Amino acid sequence: MILTLLLVALPLAGSAAVFALPEREAVRFSVLVTSLTLLDAVVLAASFDYDRAGEIQKAVDWSWVSAIGLRFHLGVDGISLPLVVLTALLTMLCTIYLLRPTSMPSRPRFLTSLLMLLEVAMIGTFVALDLLLFFVFFELVLLPMYAVIAGWGGPGRTAAARQFIVYTLLGSGFLLVGLFLIYAHAGTLDMVVLAHRHGEGLSRTVQVVAFLFVAGGLAVKVPMWPLHTWLPDAHTEAPTVGSVLLAGVLLKMGTYGLVRIAVPILPEGAAAVAPYLGAFGVIGIIYAGLACLAQRNLKRLIAFSSVGHMGLVLLGIASLTPVGINGALYLNVAHGLITGLLFFLVGGVAERYSTTDIAKLGGGLLAAAPRLGSLLVFASVASLGVPGLAGFWGEMLAMFSAYRPNPLLDRGVYLTFLAVAGLGSVLTATYFLVMLRRVAYGDVAARWRTVRIRDVTSVEWASWVPLVVIVVVFGLWPASLLGMTNDAVQSLLGGG
């Protein structure tokens, strides 16, 4: 189907074509390309048959390398569609953000080309239906993101970029071994066929080992505690557009892989390993909460908060119930929107104050730049999961699923997880409120009184408002998203 193909073809063509233009035109051109891609994604979503959201639609299925059974197999269902739209949206907003006349990036052709290449890889990961193709797209993300961090990042970018690539490559090695194992024993790379089999034909041992490898590889990307240590540095040192895409999309690829590959294809492996995933998830929640409380840097704080949120996503997946996985997917999308917005805002703060150190900012953002301050308050409140905004439903469903996990799992353990995760939400609320008190409220610090702090500019409005609107819509009308994912989750889990 042409719409699915265009999702990857448009940005790919754009990433090459941008070099034919003068540097001045690069950003505007990339806005055009990413807007067209978003338009394509929206048309795709509009023509999607929501009554059959559990099935793969709009599929492209071409034989590519028949000798190894590799097919160029793309398609969307209720799970991937929201993520595809999210990716297209965030990439477009990132390119719009680059339009700011005040701070033109250096070498804009190269940067926008990388961003469009990233979009190809990210969308490709979500629409690939062949294990090897999935791996190809999944890995294709690494090099452009590495280059974005290393080329346009902050002062510690070299070390951060290296850490990012070394960690994720280690994960890739594991993932590849796991995929090889599945292929070796199941004899096919087709994710649809494999998911329909629900592990039939794979012995329990194979499933457990393969799950360990696949989930281990994906866990680096999620990131799951204790494999998260690349994340704070990478997010902090990356340029704003890099952090937005890292937090907004890249992290989702890990959890998406768990839901799409690990859990449905290896159900017995999932049942054996899930409690550990859940345990690491809740440890991550608490760990991130404590780390954020002690955090002095605003950007690092947002980065660490991602570890906590993704821990909750892991807990939802680890429950192995439709409720939990729906919650995880919801939280995935919500986190992508909210944390994407938060990184945009922090980028805005950094641009105005030339620092993200909380003590140096010294409070009074609401007084100095009321609109920017309000947006920061809004995003933080959304992130801590206030009812009525998008963050709430995912958290609630994920926690609820731990109360009633899959009957194969030990309920007592999950009740403990639930209690710990509950404590984690309190911590989350605490550190966000503490941060707001120290940054947004109060009087403008003495050193900033003489400086005129610019409020939100029109380009910034253009790249931030869509996120605000969608966060509210998903908060008030959760069925818009849940209706889509639920059918797909049911069919992946073999129920319904």
Q: Which residues bind another protein (CB under 8 A)?
A: 65-68, 70, 132, 135-137, 139-140, 142-143, 146-147, 150-151, 158, 161-162, 165-166, 169-170, 172-174, 176-177, 180-181, 183-184
- In whole angstroms, the minimum distance from the beta carbon of 230 to another protein comes to 14
Say whether the peptide bond before residue 267 is cis (omega within 30 degrees of 0). no
As beta bridge partners, residue 130 has 190
Nearest to 258 by CA among 169, 136, 175, 142: 175
- In whole angstroms, the minimum distance from the beta carbon of 151 to another protein comes to 7
Name the residue nearer to another protein (CB basis): 109 or 260: 109
Name the residue nearer to another protein (CB basis): 180 or 441: 180
CB 59 within 8 A of CB 99: no
- In whole angstroms, the minimum distance from the beta carbon of 102 to another protein comes to 26
Q: CA–CA separation, 12 vs 107, rounded Å?
A: 19
- In whole angstroms, the minimum distance from the beta carbon of 134 to another protein comes to 11
Torsion 251-256-257-262 (CA) sign: positive
Name the residue nearer to another protein (CB basis): 230 or 330: 230
Name the residue nearer to another protein (CB basis): 210 or 259: 210
- In whole angstroms, the minimum distance from the beta carbon of 20 to another protein comes to 15
- In whole angstroms, the minimum distance from the beta carbon of 146 to another protein comes to 7
- In whole angstroms, the minimum distance from the beta carbon of 311 to another protein comes to 26
Residue type, 68: I
Residue type, 242: G
Name the residue nearer to another protein (CB basis): 137 or 417: 137
Q: CA–CA separation, 148 vs 150, rounded Å?
A: 6
Name the residue nearer to another protein (CB basis): 239 or 363: 239
Nearest to 417 by CA among 393, 400, 431: 400
Q: What is the dihedral of CA 120, 126, 127, 130, to 10 degrees?
A: 110
Name the residue nearer to another protein (CB basis): 265 or 468: 265
Take residue 205 and report the two structure tokens written for it. 């041992």
Name the residue nearer to another protein (CB basis): 138 or 287: 138
Torsion 234-127-335-367 (CA) sign: positive
Name the residue nearer to another protein (CB basis): 135 or 392: 135
SS3 content of the chain, % helix, strand, coil (to 5): 75, 5, 20
- In whole angstroms, the minimum distance from the beta carbon of 424 to another protein comes to 33
Take residue 472 and report the two structure tokens written for it. 């509210």
- In whole angstroms, the minimum distance from the beta carbon of 124 to another protein comes to 10
Q: CA–CA separation, 403 vs 124, rounded Å?
A: 35
CB 85 within 8 A of CB 119: no
CB 318 within 8 A of CB 275: yes
